[in-house]
Amino acid sequence: MIPAQFDYARANTLDEALNLLAQNDEAKILAGGHSLIPAMKLRLAMPPLLVDIARIKDLSYITEDAGQIRIGAMTTHYQIESSDLLKTICPLLPQCAGHIGDVQVRNKGTIGGSVAHADPAGDWPAAMIALNAEMIIASKSGERSVKADDFFLDLMTTAIEAGEILREIRVSKPAGRTGQSYVKMHHPASGFAVVGVAANLSLTSDGKCERASIGITGVAAKAFRPNGVESALTGAALNEETIASAATHAADGIEINGDLFALVAMSD
């Protein structure tokens, strides 16, 4: 439970952090530390240099402008959970944040750290996919934007490359008759998702499903979009029968992770 030796540097600006990262390809960003420090203690991660971005004030914000919601990478789960703005315009975000860990975890852990960590049972990746979020990634050569569908590549692997920092998450403000929800089956010991489903649906004026955007976490090596469910819902009148029938496609083409707890729970 003792990490390998490492150097530590605190950045006060994004540029400073990018310069520090450029010094060592193996350097890692330290955000809330709630995933990285446990991994270091178990020696699953042994970065030679930690670049602490916790004091960069410019990375912590929630704004909305011209239909675009912007969330700084260092915004904590709690700030999102308690945001009156988000509760009004995009309730999936505070709802998802409220499912993460306990109060201490939510006060310290950040959306950027969670998304960059890409834990297969983490909550944010499902919401990012359902909301078609855009990840704004900064490097010394500028910025690029990566859609959530292209961002989560594999188990704990994202499109972020060495020398890059996830700076901001952008989500379009839902328009029209849109309904959103995040539902999670919590693992009784860890609190992480055995399965978590984020749904972002819009309806036509006659109550049919116009567009369905869904993300699922906890089930596979990475969060994914269940295309079969979305296709089955689109154009359908939403009722228990159509929803139950669409849900049978949730794991189409997906290699499901083994889970001792889920097997026991299902056989009870």
Per CB under 6 A, residues contacting ligand FAD are: 28-36, 73, 100-101, 105, 109-110, 112-114, 116-117, 119, 122-124, 160, 165-166, 191-192
Residue with tokens 């594999």: 154
CA distance 223 to 214: 10
Q: Which is nearer to ligand FAD, 113 or 226 (CB)?
A: 113
**CB 210, min distance to ligand FAD, A:** 30
Both tokens of 36, joined, read 């990285």
Q: Which is nearer to ligand FAD, 124 or 225 (CB)?
A: 124
**CB 52, min distance to ligand FAD, A:** 9
**CB 73, min distance to ligand FAD, A:** 4
One-letter amino acid of 263 = L
Q: Report the candidate in 32, 68, 96 with the shortest Cα–Cα distance to residue 168.
A: 68
**CB 258, min distance to ligand FAD, A:** 20
Q: Which is nearer to ligand FAD, 107 or 202 (CB)?
A: 107
Cβ neighbours of 161 (radius 10 Å): 10
Q: Which is nearer to ligand FAD, 117 or 225 (CB)?
A: 117
**CB 208, min distance to ligand FAD, A:** 33
Q: Which is nearer to ligand FAD, 101 or 179 (CB)?
A: 101
Q: Report the candidate in 188, 216, 212 with the shortest Cα–Cα distance to residue 201.
A: 212
DSSP H stretches of helix in the chain: 14-22, 36-41, 77-81, 84-89, 92-98, 103-108, 111-117, 124-130, 148-151, 227-233, 240-247, 260-267
